Amino acid sequence: MSEKMWGGRFAAGTDSLVEAFTASILVDSRLYAEDIRGSQAHARMLGRVGVLTASEVEAIVSGLQQVGQEIAEQRLPFVDSLEDIHMHVESRLTEIIGDVGKKLHTGRSRNDQVATDLRLYTRACVDDLVAALRHLQGVFVDLAEREVETILPGLTHMQVAQPVSFGHHCMAYVEMFQRDAQRLLDARKRVNVLPLGAAALAGTTFPIDRWDVARQLGFDAVAENSLDAVSDRDFVMEVLADLAMIAVHLSRLCEELILWMSAPFGFIDLPDSFCTGSSIMPQKKNPDVAEIIRGKSGRVVGDLVAMLVLMKGQPLTYNRDNQEDKETFFDALDQVRASIEIMSRMLPGLQTRPAVMRAQAERGYATATDLADYLVRKGLPFRDAHAVVGKAVRLAQDRNIGLEAMPLPDLQALSPLITEEVYQVLTLEGSLAARNHLGGTAPDQVRAAIARARARLAEEQTA
């Protein structure tokens, strides 16, 4: 006969290859603390409703505490024959306290048990990720404050467009990661629903109190439908989608860091401790950390796609396919969390090269739009102003000079509306000062945006 806890119906044991193939303990062992906590709450509830005696509850709760300690100290060996973390915990509990341990599973199934464990684990990871994102936002705010006066050539289509404060550019990532944190917090509401009590799929005949367990474990609600409770993995897919978005934002940032550090740009230098060299070229300093984070973004997006495909063909209710949900989910959590942490450590050591940035901004006729706006303020329709400035740029290109170096008579030949004051907007500083919309690109507006961001972060951390 099979020696499995579920083996009463089977006349033969499980093939060893099948045991190894179907075992999930190497993946779901990280849920041990949640499994212990959920089981203790379940046992206490069974005691309150009279299914277990007070002494049985005490034995189970204290025995589970010992099991958790053994796992934490790596004193409990994991074996394929026990399949998953739930069976390891129950088996060891029964060894410690005897047959009373076999009563723990009354009124529940591994189906609602694993769903509860995974929700508890996901909730904790979401909270940790939000805190990590808040810290990364703070790093960007600090960097922005340090580089308020640094002029960066803003790009569209990878061509010089208009000058911006480097601090203003940093604040764009503060907003990206703000949305990421908000998405995670919104997803947390749907994570924080208790499935325990659904049992295998149709509930239990025992008089359980699901709200008692929910209060013990900090859940805001209990699942309304038992079929959905055990088969729902929307919360995993939703958080995975949020992780993929974070990974995309990190990848965009890394792409900029990699470009800016390259010799054709030369805008920044990253700290040596976050770069590597070449095995053959002695001069190389490679931004490998940024490249690896950029690469991991594809992996995280792949984890999301894998989870979506895993769920798309499953009928109600629980199917063993869902054993595969945790490996991709844990991978995405691990990669994104590590990427956020390493980015938070690397960015404070970033050094800018303001002279190089300024030279590139001047070279790219970054104040051309300001000249067009100047002409519009003088009464010229924008399309006509656009044409005038286009001719001015072409003339400056032919002479290999910047717009600010164009003689006034030559500019007036293109439009009599141009006067001496035009040179105030043709400088990079004049261009920055002229714009103050959406937080502004001028230093004063950037500082104001930084102050608002600091206040917002402080309020959110307190909340």
Catalytic residue among 157, 273, 279, 437: 157
How many residues are listed for the chain in this entry?
Answer: 463
Q: Is 205 exposed, middle or buried (0-12, 13-18, 19+ CB in 10 A)?
A: exposed
Active site residue 278: yes
Q: How far apart are CA 224 and CA 193, in angstroms?
A: 9
- Give 95: exposed, middle or buried? Use CB within 10 Å, 0-12, 13-18, 19+: exposed
Contact (CB, 8 A) for 230 and 110: no
CB-based burial of residue 161 (10 Å sphere; 0-12 exposed, 13-18 middle, 19+ buried)? middle
Query: Checking DSSP bridges between strand 159-165 and strand 193-194, what pairing results, if any?
Result: unpaired
Tokens for 18, please give them: 């099948």
Return the beta strands (E) in 243-321 as ranges. Answer: 268-269
**10 Å Cβ neighbour count for 454?**
16
User: How far apart are alpha carbons 457 and 353 in whole angstroms?
Assistant: 29
| CA distances in angstroms from 453 to 138, 331, 344, listed in the order given | 9, 31, 17
Q: Whole-angstrom Cα distance, residue 436 to residue 214?
A: 50
Q: Are 321 and 24 in contact (CB under 8 A)?
A: no
CB atoms within 10 A of CB 405: 12
β-strand partners of 193: 221
Clarify whether 157 is annotated catalytic: yes
CA distance linking residue 232 with residue 226, whole number of Å: 10
Residue 56 in tokens: 């049985």
Marked catalytic residue, from 135, 226, 278, 344: 278
Q: Which residues of 8-37 are buried (b: 16+ CB within 10 A; e: fewer)?
A: eeeeeebeeeebeeebbbebbeebbbbbbb
Q: What whole-number distance in Å separates Cα of residue 291 and Cα of residue 276? A: 11
Please list the active-site residues. 157, 278
